[in-house]
């Protein structure tokens, strides 16, 4: 999650009521696009989602370089990121990762203006990309279309839903309180809006990744889980892969999620319960085979708390651990075009 007041002004009108726009570096879709027939089949694909933690008080350049190194070492076909900022985008541009794995991203990030808060990196041939800046307030929904096989256009999206603090609890508490976390109605609305967009512009095979800011505890996130049940064609990859590797927001292991900084000095520590806040939702022939935490090992032993002298816990890439999903495209049939 990010500091709510820190970065961007609200007021961007939702794109649901208007036509979608392509941001610089991506051509607008004016005609349907057919899958190309000169590429290798990709039956198993690796998708990662990672909130990059926009706070610049917690060794930001060290963290961004560590994420670039992670991408170079693991080479996922897709990486959905949230909290992309000019400073961490610049580090990714300076790294060989974009040139080697995601060459289309350099053109997008060098095209001028602030980078989008949500973004999809992909190493497969990209047919188009659209950005919907009004989803989840100012955070936006990033949607890209890729050739996943000779017969399949795959839609991949990155989202970051509204964050609100849960009722005050100790950092060790994993969420035993009965009170729902505030913001559930807003996150449920974010989910409905994102999935409506993907139903309208996406292909039948689609993956929505991101920091959705709700977990699987029904007493805390009932509104969000009810909204998800209202979309039966979408499936949770954690559940499908029987992913039980741990929490992406972990109050016991990651002290960065208690670093509020100068932007919210009066707000105190974040009080979200330990939970799997970061997800992949699947539609169509995409099937989850495995789910595992990533970037959950420290990159440094200690980090000063809040920019001060007191030693805090180990430094991680982000206040969120990321997730890697191993997905397959099952079945046959030809995806005719992007709508």
Contact 278, 290 (CB under 8 A): no
Query: For 308-327, what is each residue's pLDDT tens digit?
Result: 544 467 899 999 999 999 99
pLDDT in tens, 192-222: 999 999 999 999 999 999 999 999 989 889 9
DSSP letter for each residue of 53-86: ---TTS-HHHHHHHHHHHHHHH--SEEEEES--H
Report which of 245, 256, 320, 255 is spatially closest to residue 288, judged by C-alpha positions: 245
Residues of the chain with pLDDT under 50: 3-33, 37-40, 169-176, 261-269, 309-311, 332-339
Question: Residue 239: which H helix or E strand, with range?
Answer: helix 237-240
- Neighbour tally for 66: CB within 10 Å: 20
Integer Cα distance of 217 and 149 in angstroms: 37
* Integer angstrom CA distances of residue 49 from 219, 239, 318: 25, 16, 12
Question: Quick one: which of 173, 154, 180 has its CA closest to 280?
Answer: 154
CA distance 326 to 339: 26
Tokens at 307, concatenated: 């920019």
């Amino acid at each position: 999650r990010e500091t709510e007041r820190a970065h961007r002004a609200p007021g961007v009108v939702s794109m649901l009521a208007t036509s979608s726009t392509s941001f610089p570096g991506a051509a607008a879709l004016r005609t349907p696009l057919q899958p190309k027939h000169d590429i290798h089949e990709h039956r198993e694909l690796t998708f990662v989602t990672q909130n990059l933690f926009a706070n610049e008080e917690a060794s930001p350049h060290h963290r961004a370089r560590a994420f670039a190194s992670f991408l170079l070492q693991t080479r996922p076909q897709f990486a959905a990121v949230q909290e992309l900022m000019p400073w961490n985008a610049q580090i990714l541009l300076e790294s060989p990762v974009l040139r080697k794995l995601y060459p289309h991203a350099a053109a997008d990030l060098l095209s001028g203006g602030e980078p989008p808060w949500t973004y999809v990196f992909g190493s497969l041939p990209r047919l188009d990309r659209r950005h919907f800046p009004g989803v989840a307030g100012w955070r936006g929904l990033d949607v890209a279309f890729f050739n996943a096989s000779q017969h399949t256009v795959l839609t991949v999206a990155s989202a970051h839903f509204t964050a609100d603090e849960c009722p005050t609890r100790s950092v060790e508490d994993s969420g035993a309180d009965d009170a729902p976390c505030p913001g559930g109605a807003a996150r449920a609305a974010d989910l409905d809006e994102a999935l409506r967009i993907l139903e309208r512009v996406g292909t039948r095979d689609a993956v929505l990744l991101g920091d959705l800011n709700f977990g699987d505890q029904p007493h805390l996130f009932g509104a969000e889980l009810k909204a998800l049940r209202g979309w039966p064609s979408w499936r949770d990859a954690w559940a499908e892969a029987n992913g039980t590797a741990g929490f992406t927001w972990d109050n016991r292991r990651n002290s960065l999620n208690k670093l509020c900084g100068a932007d919210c000095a009066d707000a105190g520590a974040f009080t979200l319960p330990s939970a799997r806040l970061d997800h992949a939702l699947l539609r169509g022939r995409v099937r989850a085979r495995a789910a595992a935490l990533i970037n959950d090992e420290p990159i440094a032993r200690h980090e000063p708390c809040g920019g001060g002298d007191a030693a805090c816990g180990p430094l991680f890439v982000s206040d969120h651990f990321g997730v890697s999903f191993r997905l397959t495209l099952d079945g046959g049939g030809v995806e005719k075009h992007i709508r």
